Structure 1
Amino acid sequence: MGGAPLKSENSFYNGRHLWATISDMNQKYQKYITDTKLKLSDAGVEKLGEKRIVEKGSLLMSFKLTLDKTAFAGEELITNEAIVKLVLRDEYNTNEIKEYLYHILPLVNYIPFAQRAAKGYTLNKDLLPTVEIPFPDPKKRDEIVKKKIQLENERNELENELSKI
């Protein structure tokens, strides 16, 4: 899980290390985070600890207040405390399963598993494993991913056409 160095400590910021926040996941239809609004300095990374570094290709999910955002780390980066890197057991750690989870996790109803917070709902590392995720057989998973990608492409085409009007 991510973290956040003190905002009041300017020496922790304006560096070269990508620091992902929910706003970086809110970019319209952005699947990969390859740049971030905020960057951490070497001192900021040292303060958080190198164990917070997320490898390129990792699947990320927002789990505090905003419970429905997913993205892949398009570069090595560090996340704030509202984003978790999903660590899958070896038998599930395949590109196909990560792709399925990327598409299906935003559709899951997290409310029954979440705790009420002042500004919405939140999950934590103890609650995350209790979330029920639909997990059909591989053929059905592939069909779901293909259909979701097809629908996203159609939506993008329609939006492009609308923007020309």
Structure 2
Amino acid sequence: MKPSHIDWCPMIPDHWEEKRIKDIAFLQSGNSITAMDFVEDGKFPVYGGNGLRGYTNTYTNEGDYVLIGRQGALCGNINYAHGKFYASEHAVVVYPKKEEITLWLGETLRTANLNRLSMTAAQPGLAVSTLNLQFIPFPPKDERIRIAKYLDKKLSEIDHQVSLLTSKRDAYLRLKKSIINHAVTHGLNPNVKMKDSGIEWIGEVPEHWEMCRFKDAFRRWTTGITPDSKNYKYFESDICKGYTWVTISDFLEKYISQSNLNLSDESIKLFMPPLSLKGSLMFSFKLSVGKIAFADKDLYTNEAIVSIPPNNGQCLEYYYYMLPNVLHENATENIYGAKMLNQKIIANMLMVVPPLPEQRAIATYLDDKCAKIDTIVSNLDKQISRYADLKRSLIDEVITGKRAV
């Protein structure tokens, strides 16, 4: 091995060269495209900065190419395009100056972590002029061919294993959803008499269960707020700490326990009581409709979150499992195609309401069943993650010459 001038690859094999990207290829951004140009059943794929964006009936390129994401938080990511395709203005097409091995070139650029060259934090982006001047390790052609063949074989084997694990994971998630749906609409007694709920997507429910509007089941429920010019000072003060601000992005587990932002103004305690009390069930009704979690402490929430306080007349654990489907089925699309709910729709949503003892029994049953499935899914996720690490390590070792092939 010998020292190189490449910051991400300080050592390369003695017989390898270092070359600038512009010495190997010509880089050019794709063409602009508007939403009107996308066609659901279009003939040709459209690639943007993060990969496939949709389809259209015209194409800009034909062949096998490496694409570099040009804009956005993931700028610098690498994708491949084959056959006829449309490259948008957010993708940089890599045109080799001589016949080149596409897989070797793409994985070399991926290993270079081009995202580190991003120019701004607000709207990250890459300049072609900057990319052109980057040096990469350049093995002899016969080695580039061997590297490509080796990676193609090994990565295909890894991808196959990941595909099997992912299919297994997805099957368990479908099983979990099926178990939840059956329990919250049919109960736990397989011999119970059934009746038509009158709601197509629910179907039959136990004869003694009731159908109830959300506002009749929960007389008390609140929506959060978003800081604006009138109250933002409260969120900047550091007089007294204590409350936590959460948004939909914090709904990662059943119980929210991580602080996002500590609010700390005495006037909040006086004039702005917590919007979600400890034990409240919270759900999103804008954008990520149906995300749901419990508050394990007094919280502040934003305007996209509804909070149901602890209720002696209802088992909120049951509604944790039942509500997501109700929310999804009642959501409507806004002008941008996003699923949304409003206060009136939420208030009038129809729900299946078993007697309180059955609510508790169903919640306990689902806690047990879902915990077991979640453990299996977590183990599968860890295996998938290990294969991803193996894949990255393998590519790095081969591309930088640490592993001879």
TM-score range, shorter chain: 0.7 to 0.9
**Structure 2, unaligned stretches of length 5 or more?**
1-222, 387-405
Q: Does 1:19 align with 2:223?
A: no
Helix, strand or coil: the match of 1:12?
helix
CA contact (8 A) 1:13 1:39 kept: no
CA contact (8 A) 1:2 1:83 kept: yes
> Counterparts of 1:63 and 1:139 in 2: how far apart (Å)?
28
Are the structure 2 counterparts of residues 44 and 62 from structure 1 closer, same or farther at C-alpha, using a change threshold of 3 Å?
Answer: farther
Deviation string for 1:117-144 (max 9, x for gaps)? 2351222222211111121234543443
Query: For the pair shown, which has the larger CA radius of gyration, 1 or 2?
Result: 2
Task: Return the letter of the residue paired with 2:245.
Answer: W
Give the equivalent residue in structure 2 for 1:61.
283
> Counterparts of 1:37 and 1:24 in 2: how far apart (Å)?
8
Deviation string for 1:95-131 (max 9, x for gaps)? 86111111211232534x3342235122222221111
Give the equivalent residue in structure 2 for 1:107.
325
Q: Does 1:131 align with 2:349?
A: yes
Task: Return the letter of the residue paired with 1:21.
Answer: T
Are the structure 2 counterparts of residues 156 and 77 from structure 1 closer, same or farther at C-alpha, using a change threshold of 3 Å?
Answer: same
Give the equivalent residue in structure 1 for 2:225.
3
TM-score by length of 2: 0.34
> Counterparts of 1:149 and 1:99 in 2: how far apart (Å)?
9
CA contact (8 A) 1:59 1:70 kept: yes
Q: Does 1:150 align with 2:368?
A: yes
Identity %: 31
> Counterparts of 1:114 and 1:44 in 2: how far apart (Å)?
36
> Counterparts of 1:41 and 1:119 in 2: how far apart (Å)?
38
Give the equivalent residue in structure 1 for 2:263.
40
Task: Return the letter of the residue paired with 2:226.
Answer: A
**Structure 1, unaligned stretches of length 5 or more?**
none
> Counterparts of 2:358 and 2:286 in 1: how far apart (Å)?
30
User: What is the number of equivalent residue pairs in this alignment?
Assistant: 154
Q: Which moved more, 1:120-129 or 1:93-102?
A: 93-102
Q: Does 1:79 align with 2:301?
A: yes
Give the equivalent residue in structure 1 for 2:190.
none
Are the structure 2 counterparts of residues 11 and 135 from structure 1 closer, same or farther at C-alpha, using a change threshold of 3 Å?
Answer: closer
**Larger relative contact order, structure 1 or 2 (CA cutoff 8 Å, min sep 6):** 1
TM-score by length of 1: 0.74
> Counterparts of 1:99 and 1:81 in 2: how far apart (Å)?
23
Q: Kindly state the Cα deviation for residue 12 of structure 1 after the two structures are TM-superposed.
A: 2.2
CA contact (8 A) 2:315 2:360 kept: no
> Counterparts of 2:321 and 2:345 in 1: how far apart (Å)?
21
> Counterparts of 1:130 and 1:65 in 2: how far apart (Å)?
20
> Counterparts of 1:44 and 1:4 in 2: how far apart (Å)?
17
Are the structure 2 counterparts of residues 153 and 95 from structure 1 closer, same or farther at C-alpha, using a change threshold of 3 Å?
Answer: farther
Task: Return the letter of the residue paired with 1:53.
Answer: L
CA contact (8 A) 1:12 1:44 kept: no
Give the equivalent residue in structure 2 for 1:116.
333
Q: Does 1:70 align with 2:292?
A: yes
> Counterparts of 2:293 and 2:324 in 1: how far apart (Å)?
10
> Counterparts of 1:44 and 1:66 in 2: how far apart (Å)?
31
> Counterparts of 1:62 and 1:41 in 2: how far apart (Å)?
25
Q: Kindly state the Cα deviation for residue 86 of structure 1 after the two structures are TM-superposed.
A: 1.9
Helix, strand or coil: the match of 1:66?
coil
